[in-house]
Chain A
Amino acid sequence: MRLFDHAAATSMRPSVQRALAEAAPLANPASTHREGQRARAVLEDARERLAAVLGAHPTEVVLTSGGTESINLALKGAWWAARDAGEPGALVVPVAEHHATLDAVAWLERQGAPVRWVGVDAHAVTDAEAVAAALVDGGRASVATMLVASNEVGSLQPVEAVADAAARAGVPLHLDAVGALGHVPLRFAETGAALMSVASHKIGGPHGVGALVVRRDARLEALHHGGGQQRGLRSGTQDALGASLFALAAEEALAELDAEAARLRALTERILTAAAAIEGVRLLVAEPRLPHIAHLVVEGAEGEALQFLLDEAGFAVSNGSACSAGVARESHVVRACGLTGVAPLRLSLGRTTTEEDVEALLGALPAAVARARALR
């Protein structure tokens, strides 16, 4: 099987696999005895290494169970904190965000939080001016959120412009960097954001580990209550091993970022060019884009059929998002770009992708597209 779904979860790095296999038992890092202190040291080493990679201070790194928890903590936490301070302003949210964001925001909306939705263009790029206006029109917003790059289409988002506007308006900005980490340079302190979500499995670390970077001055309520770990923002026994594996993956990803980005950009460029020449295929992505994603849509085809044909031919691909029931629903991102009734295909590459993989895919793609189109 050739994996073209690295954006869902990329292969675990060999170094991480080795470290996992050789890991020594660890005590609870909150325990005060020497064994606990040893575990605590492993945990805090990992936090410092992660902070260094993310361009943040270790105090700002709150470890979580992954991207979804980080995003929920950021958005619910920030809105609850604003509400508790007597300033229950709106959330500003682009419509083509990941479901972790959309569903958390929809839940807050049902709890009475006002939400200002912002549109995207035909390339899934958020309108920075619309965000800037939404931050202040009708009263100052409580929190704004944005992807660093569309996790489906791959287009980079106007982070700088939105961060500037957020700073001017005095609105804390959350960046969803889950899909961008390891693929574009990312220094939290330089983004101007108050909050930033990342996850380990996107860069070759273990699943179930993530972090929310929380700027010191950001007001945040906790989702989980208990032992008061991690500044009281995330109670629960901390996973020192998971944190150390995440840090290892992050360091490696950062070290190879420039070379890998260039290599993968060339490969995805090859896919995009070849795909665009296939009848019925359209591209939505706009430059600048994530280097490892080649997103295309096929007109007049059933997405499920197209994915099945490629899966059967030995290519693991995605339509852009995975759902719990395993049903590939129509992509809200593609719809937000103004298209319906098309079959999206997100081909995402990673560290293990070779040129031969890409050539094999391009050999199979035209026939799969033609066959999926013939089904309608």
Chain B
Amino acid sequence: MKVLAAMSGGVDSAVAAARAVDAGHEVVGVHLALSRMPGTLRTGSRGCCTVEDAMDARRVADRLGIPFYVWDFSERFHADVVQDFVDEYAAGRTPNPCLRCNERIKFEALLDRAIGLGFDRVVTGHYARVEHGDDGPQLHRAADWAKDQSYVLGVLTEEQLRHCWFPLADTPTKAAVRAEAAERGFLLAQKPDSHDICFIPDGDTRGFLAERLGAEPGEIVDRDGAVVGQHAGVHGYTVGQRRGLSLGVPSPDGRPRFVLEVKPSTRQLVVGPEEALAVSRLAGTRVSHAGPAHPGLAEGLDVEVQIRAHADPVPARARMVGDELVIDPAAPLRGVATGQSAVLYLGTRVLGQCTIDRTVAADAVPA
């Protein structure tokens, strides 16, 4: 096969590219320049897509003896990921930019170009497995559940998955990948993992949003509308969040309060007790199926649902109602934020996902 290895300059994608070369494929490396202001250097685990990352990727390609290019996707990335991130927060939702980047940049803009240029597959260092069966591709969790990234890939379609290859699927641990990188003589073997959001290198999401959306102070209210505190700007708060709330008025029962709702239109944060976070139903459009759609979803299917990148999957029943995916968790779920993706699993297999548009509070549904 002729494969295009997306090389971020990190350990995972370097080892993935190396394995593709070992497997005897014709491999070309590409680093995506995503920042509109390249030239910065990395600081610890923060920062991404810097000149240093491009150089790290280039040096791995040199060692592997493969051609290497830097392609500029910064405008697409800005429009489809960064601006989407800002717009979603402006609407009071909580986006997942990594998922959006996979959906729109790595496995759309890049993949489209790769196919147009005659490549069979795009190789990345993601921890997930694609099984290419007779019935079409299936997406599964990686062997190392601690590193599993199937959640942020759940948005991929059958057509996208057809052209994906994740060589790290069966790696037992990240430590094994680092050891392999060191064995291969890659200088980046000990490079720290990336954390946070790559386009917010200082990690200050609220500051980033305040710069773009303004930071107008407003009220923190309880469910009855009583003012219990002030905030410096609603953007950056997420449903289920407890920390970062400065409440002047203690709750009547003395228990901690959580963000229940973000209302940019009135600049209000609604807070309440933990149990008020519980939802018995979540639903969303923008549904995608990671492979051929499972026929059981039409009638209703017992699945597991994962509502955040690092949440545990929980049992639920899911079905399609028109173009909406409706998910009823077996037990009420807490901390469900609109804008996040609800990914459905059947064992290790990803069945698809939707972007959460609405939730129904547990106490709102008659038992």
Contact = CB atoms under 8 A, between A and B. Distances in A.
A329 B75 CA distance: 11
B112 interface: yes
A304 B71 contact: yes
A324 B31 CA distance: 14
A239 interface: no
Contact of B113 (A311, A327, A375): A375
Interface in A306-335: 308-309, 311-312, 324-329
Contact of A326 (B67, B69, B112, B116): B69
Contact of A374 (B71, B72, B116): B116
Contacts of A325: 33, 38-39, 51, 54, 70
Contacts of A327: 33, 38, 54, 70-72
Contacts of B38: 325, 327
B51 A324 contact: yes
B364 interface: no
A143 B23 CA distance: 60
Interface string B66-93: 0101111000000000000000000000
A308 B69 contact: yes
A362 interface: no
Interface in B98-132: 112-113, 116-117
Given A324-B51, A325-B33, A326-B58, A305 B72 contact: no
Nearest to B70: A326
Contacts of A324: 51
Contacts of B112: 375
Contacts of B70: 325-327
B70 to A, nearest CB: 4
Given A311-B67, A327-B38, A304 B116 contact: no
A225 B72 CA distance: 39
A324 B58 CA distance: 12
Interface string A36-76: 00000000000000000000000000000000000000000
B51 A371 contact: no
Interface in A353-376: 371, 374-375
A302 interface: yes
B51 A302 contact: no
Nearest to B69: A308
A121 B65 CA distance: 43
B113 A328 contact: no
Nearest to B112: A375
Interface in B39-66: 39, 51, 54, 58
Contacts of B72: 304, 327-329
Interface in A110-165: none
Contacts of B113: 302, 304-305, 375
A245 B67 CA distance: 32
A345 to B, nearest CB: 16
Contacts of B58: 326
Interface residues of A, number: 16
A304 B116 CA distance: 12
A127 B177 CA distance: 59
Contact of A304 (B39, B51, B67, B69): B69
B117 A326 contact: no
A326 B7 CA distance: 14
A371 B117 CA distance: 8
A179 to B, nearest CB: 24
B342 to A, nearest CB: 34
Interface string B176-215: 0000000000000000000000000000000000000000
A81 to B, nearest CB: 30
A53 B116 CA distance: 49
B54 A309 contact: no
A325 B41 CA distance: 12
Given A311-B67, A325-B54, A329-B72, A305 B33 contact: no
Contacts of A309: 117
B50 to A, nearest CB: 9
B243 to A, nearest CB: 38
B8 to A, nearest CB: 14
A305 B117 contact: yes
Contacts of A308: 69, 117
A304 B73 CA distance: 10
A375 B51 contact: no
B116 A375 contact: yes
Nearest to B71: A304
Given A325-B33, A326-B54, A305 B69 contact: no
B173 to A, nearest CB: 33
Interface in B259-286: none
Contacts of B116: 305, 371, 374-375
A172 B51 CA distance: 38
A302 B117 CA distance: 11
A279 to B, nearest CB: 18
Contacts of A371: 116-117
Contacts of B67: 311-312
A63 to B, nearest CB: 30
17 contacts: A304-B69, A304-B113, A308-B117, A309-B117, A312-B117, A325-B54, A325-B70, A326-B31, A326-B58, A326-B69, A327-B33, A327-B54, A327-B71, A327-B72, A329-B72, A371-B117, A375-B117
- Which 5 residue pairs across A and B have the least CB separation, nearest first? A326-B70, A375-B116, A327-B33, A327-B72, A304-B71
Interface of B: 31, 33, 38-39, 51, 54, 58, 67, 69-72, 112-113, 116-117
Given A304-B71, A324-B51, A326-B58, 11 more contacts: A305-B117, A312-B117, A325-B33, A325-B39, A325-B51, A325-B54, A326-B31, A326-B54, A326-B70, A327-B33, A327-B70
